[in-house]
Structure 1
Amino acid sequence: MSTYTIHGATGEWEVVIGLEVHAQVTSNAKLFSGASTAFGAEPNTQVSLVDAAMPGMLPVPNRECIRQAVRTGMAIEAEINKWSRFDRKNYFYADLPQGYQISQLYHPLVGEGQLLIEADEKAGIAEDKVIGIERIHVEQDAGKLMHDQHPTMSYVDLNRSGVALMEIVSRPHMRSPAEAGAYVRKLRSILRYVGSCDGNMEEGSMRADVNVSVRRAGTQELGTRTETKNVNSVRFVMQVIEYEANRQVDVLESGGTVDQETRLFDVATGTTRTMRSKEDAHDYRYFPDPDLLPLVLDDSFLEECRASLPELPDAKRQRYESELGLTPYNARELTAEVETFARFETLLAATAATIGKPEKDVATQVANWALSVAPGVVKGLGDEADLTNSTPAAQATILAMQDKGEISGGQAKEIYEIVLRQGGDPEAIADEKGLKQVSDTGAIEAAIDGIIAANADKVEEYRGGKDKLFGFFVGQTMKAMQGKANPAVVNQILKDKLG
């Protein structure tokens, strides 16, 4: 079991973490209106009469937003509530035209679910762990205040007002910044697989409220928690937890008490600061929204939602290990993001077809190329790399030449560099630049004969038991062949001749 302990002056403390992730639902229109949800539009250009709370305008639920939330619930193995209801959360703020937010408190669309985070020794997670998810409820987003447009006034942009959000509420099951980071990354991956949220935290379409409390190590009673609002990156989530946990320990050890409050994270200083005292549900005077009927889902709708789900990360990772024979590390890395597995599967299919072998027989070669070799070459070239030249067909051709023994790993990198710089057919590049390996046994044998004749003393030492000298003969042969000899052929001929 991985542990994250804060060593205070009076003893050890444990941190308890829960996350409320707000994920913008992938939909062309808002939750209760037909206004666009496109990112980056000019302020107040995507606002319907409903979003602006004009008198007499009634909300109408967007079926696609409900469908995406249900699919998300199914992806985390959650209970889907066939009957749910919208409530009004009442508070006054300048970016909330109605004076209330339409949300779900008492009867959410999605109930209990779970999410698995995998062991990662480098990150400090010693074993797999299941994080409970309490609920997913659907709600509308508020607008945005802009404080930098005028020296004495704040402006309001209502483009986000009414955009559909899923609030995904975890149980307080996380015990370290590393576990919380892994949870957010895994949740973002699932949302992207499902297609219910793009997960772009930097654009605000996914953000987290971070709940942190501390307690004496070995105790079970929960401490007073604080909630840090609207944290918009995995790294910042982890920073908030580390800072806030240490701050609370310092407060308690100095004889103070932790206030239940809402806090904000200051990116520049890496610290949190008080925003307001933490409200309870009764402070918002929740009541059922009288303008909206309850949501009632029938079996055919649920079956349609379930049938539309793709293969999810955990299932894909297990398949990569069992059917393709990939290592757990490679399988985890390749399935972490939608873009990564999509590129891998496209390249795998192209390589298997080019070589003429089943996908499982070339999967390890393709995985190593996709995760290590190709990214290394791209990084080394920097701005010189034109990724439009890096087609699956070009990469598959390089891997096929390597599989046939026509080129070495080093030559494969050289050819790929040229492809990235200027494009072209990898086979033609290999011929033109003289980058193919020599597999002509006659030429290699002649070179080896010369090396053996010139190093008779080392031959005797090798035959006398100095096995490490075999590497010397390999090196001399490759040098004589200008690095172009097929290593497998060199090794076999040397073994035959040295005895």
Structure 2
Amino acid sequence: MPTTPQLIRGYEVVIGLENHVQLSTQSKIFSGSSTAFGAEPNTQASPVDLALPGTLPVLNRAAVERAIRFGLAVGAKVAPLSIFARKNYFYPDLPKGYQISQFEIPVVQGGKVEFFVGDKKHIVNLTRAHLEEDAGKSLHEDYHGQSGIDLNRAGTPLLEIVSEPDMRSAQEAAEYAKTLHALVMWLGICDGNMQEGSFRCDVNVSVRKPGEPFGTRREIKNLNSFRFLVDAVNYEVNWQIDEIEDGRKIQQATVLYNPDTGETRAMRSKEDSADYRYFPDPDLPPLVIAPEWVERVKGEMPELPAVMAARFIEVDGLPEYDATMMTQSLATARYYEAAKAAGAVPKLVANWVMGEISKRLNASGAEIAAAPVGPELLTRLIARISDGTISNNAAKQVFESLWTGEATDVDAVIDAKGLKQVSDTGAIEAILDEVLAANQKSVDEFRAGKDKAFNALVGQAMKATKGKANPALVNELLKKKLG
């Protein structure tokens, strides 16, 4: 479901993603070797992982269940029968000389992912998600000009999620990847650690003039940061446009992004499926998934983000955008529900989470579970706004003190900084009488139909109270006095 084109230098950008999701199993997809990260090199590669003579792969049931869980979450078809194939290529970190993957019949077929870019809703359709094993890792640092091979990762279970080329900007691709990242963590099928390679992005990028056929794509491999994804795509798009404008044709290729230079560079010419000489793996029978298995997995799944968001809309009265933001991660949803359970108004919780809390989390790179202002503390702050003790502006000052660790008690900050609102009707009326007497011109303008004059009088009243008067009460009393 492509979105409205956002032209760059007169060209439409076309983007599709392939995400490699490391599944959260304790052992590898075809052997009993550990998948733990950080072990000494080559200590977790068994004879099965290396395909030594006399060994046979045995499929890990837990990996299949995680694939089923993902398929159900995105509304895809879980294939009752799928086939494992050998993808043949030669690379130093691929000990077998082939990778066991799925080709013609994947375990998950179709599906879609919904997300927001700003306040606009987007939908990206999925082509497939298939099970496969990971390769090893080539190491090029600290080897005195040589390269080392660590085969610990060889055989680690992956779910490769392939999208349709439905995205039309780098930002849209990044938001899709973030949503997918949050979903696989929500489902408990991946730990989401991008630095350890648990969630990797390959981005296919091409450009075309509007209305023309798709251009030749280049694949940016192994992006492990959403910021790098945006930077890499933007550089690649402009590079491709420069090439076309200079009269050169784009050659299909696999490229790498260098975050130090901000540039992409070609690694090798891009292979097509025929180059891999796929054929069914003779050591693995077809994967048969009975309907009862699917139903059992469905019954064990957590409440999905879309279902939870629909509940927040219906029960809490949140707008669709707010509800989606409150379910962008399981940690965010838990924070929101904890504050709501403590008695906070749902819409106000959502406003603070999307506003001040998100701003500070983004600046620090922290997760909401580690926010210095937890749900209970935020609830107490919101209560002081709701009961008129402090204004919204004063609440931000209190929040700042709580966030920085200057204080841990809402009321103590309010008292220490003298932030209580003046809500005494008699006191405010006396101040309004003085303001009206001193601003007869504004009074006359208001009575002549100039609404801006009313705001000017409110401003004078707030100034007279040094911003401490209850704004709602000032407005109410001023209207009465002006008739």
- TM tier, shorter chain? 0.7 to 0.9
* Counterpart for residue 22 of structure 1: 20
Q: 1:434-476: per-residue Cα shift (whole Å, max 9, x none)?
A: 4322322233334334445555676566556555443444344
Please give the TM-score of this superposition, normalised by the length of structure 1.
Answer: 0.84
Q: Is structure 2 residue 158 aligned with structure 1 residue 165?
A: yes
Counting only pairs closer than 5 Å after superposition, residues 275-354 of structure 1 correspond to structure 2 as: 275-352=267-344
Q: Is structure 2 residue 348 aligned with structure 1 residue 365?
A: yes
Change (3 A) 1:314 1:375: closer
Q: 1:15 and 1:320 mapped to 2: Cα distance?
A: 35
Alignment match of 1:487 (pick from 445, 449, 471)? 471
Once the 2 structures are TM-superposed, how far is the Cα of residue 303 of structure 1 from its aligned partner? 0.6
369-378 or 182-191: bigger deviation: 369-378
Aligned to 2:109, the other structure's residue is in SS state: coil
Aligned to 2:195, the other structure's residue is in SS state: helix
Q: 2:105 and 2:186 mapped to 1: Cα distance?
A: 27
Q: 2:23 and 2:229 mapped to 1: Cα distance?
A: 21
* Counterpart for residue 176 of structure 2: 183
Change (3 A) 1:163 1:425: same
Q: 1:488 and 1:480 mapped to 2: Cα distance?
A: 16
Q: Is structure 2 residue 384 aligned with structure 1 residue 416?
A: no
Aligned to 1:445, the other structure's residue is in SS state: helix
Q: Is structure 2 residue 132 aligned with structure 1 residue 132?
A: no
Alignment match of 1:204 (pick from 197, 209, 216)? 197
Alignment check: 8 A CA contact 1:389 1:423 kept: no
* Counterpart for residue 474 of structure 1: 458
Alignment check: 8 A CA contact 1:212 1:226 kept: yes
* Counterpart for residue 50 of structure 1: 48
The residue type paired with residue 59 of structure 1 is P
Q: Is structure 2 residue 61 aligned with structure 1 residue 77?
A: no
Q: 2:276 and 2:446 mapped to 1: Cα distance?
A: 85
Q: 1:74 and 1:381 mapped to 2: Cα distance?
A: 34
Once the 2 structures are TM-superposed, how far is the Cα of residue 16 of structure 1 from its aligned partner? 3.5
Q: Is structure 2 residue 445 aligned with structure 1 residue 445?
A: no
Alignment check: 8 A CA contact 1:377 1:413 kept: no
Aligned to 1:203, the other structure's residue is in SS state: coil
Change (3 A) 1:34 1:414: same
Aligned to 1:208, the other structure's residue is in SS state: strand
Consecutive unaligned residues in structure 2, runs of 5 or more: none
Once the 2 structures are TM-superposed, how far is the Cα of residue 191 of structure 1 from its aligned partner? 1.9
Aligned to 1:159, the other structure's residue is in SS state: coil
Change (3 A) 1:128 1:413: closer
Q: Is structure 2 residue 385 aligned with structure 1 residue 402?
A: yes
The residue type paired with residue 411 of structure 2 is E
* Counterpart for residue 62 of structure 1: 60
* Counterpart for residue 147 of structure 1: 140
Once the 2 structures are TM-superposed, how far is the Cα of residue 164 of structure 1 from its aligned partner? 0.8
Alignment check: 8 A CA contact 1:377 1:416 kept: no
Q: 1:111-169: per-residue Cα shift (whole Å, max 9, x none)?
A: 22223354647xxxxx6554332211111111111111211321112221111111112
Alignment check: 8 A CA contact 2:243 2:250 kept: yes
Alignment check: 8 A CA contact 1:4 1:15 kept: yes
* Counterpart for residue 4 of structure 2: 2
Alignment check: 8 A CA contact 2:442 2:456 kept: no
Consecutive unaligned residues in structure 1, runs of 5 or more: 122-126, 353-361
Q: 1:370-418: per-residue Cα shift (whole Å, max 9, x none)?
A: 22244567899999xx967523222211111211112211332233333
Q: 2:361 and 2:161 mapped to 1: Cα distance?
A: 37
Once the 2 structures are TM-superposed, how far is the Cα of residue 233 of structure 1 from its aligned partner? 2.8
Q: 1:130 and 1:461 mapped to 2: Cα distance?
A: 52
Alignment match of 2:410 (pick from 422, 426, 444)? 426
Once the 2 structures are TM-superposed, how far is the Cα of residue 321 of structure 1 from its aligned partner? 3.8
Counting only pairs closer than 5 Å after superposition, residues 208-247 of structure 1 correspond to structure 2 as: 208-220=201-213, 222-247=214-239
The residue type paired with residue 60 of structure 1 is V
Change (3 A) 1:455 1:39: same
The residue type paired with residue 402 of structure 1 is I
Change (3 A) 1:377 1:217: closer
Once the 2 structures are TM-superposed, how far is the Cα of residue 304 of structure 1 from its aligned partner? 1.8
* Counterpart for residue 109 of structure 2: 111
Q: 1:44-90: per-residue Cα shift (whole Å, max 9, x none)?
A: 34334433444433322222111111111122211111112222222
Aligned to 2:108, the other structure's residue is in SS state: coil
* Counterpart for residue 482 of structure 2: 498
Q: 2:71 and 2:45 mapped to 1: Cα distance?
A: 29
Aligned to 1:265, the other structure's residue is in SS state: strand
The residue type paired with residue 425 of structure 2 is T
162-171 or 287-296: bigger deviation: 287-296
Alignment check: 8 A CA contact 2:49 2:155 kept: yes
Change (3 A) 1:424 1:184: closer
The residue type paired with residue 143 of structure 1 is G
Once the 2 structures are TM-superposed, how far is the Cα of residue 482 of structure 1 from its aligned partner? 4.3
Aligned to 2:474, the other structure's residue is in SS state: helix
Please give the TM-score of this superposition, normalised by the length of structure 2.
Answer: 0.86
Alignment check: 8 A CA contact 1:377 1:417 kept: no
Q: 2:364 and 2:70 mapped to 1: Cα distance?
A: 40
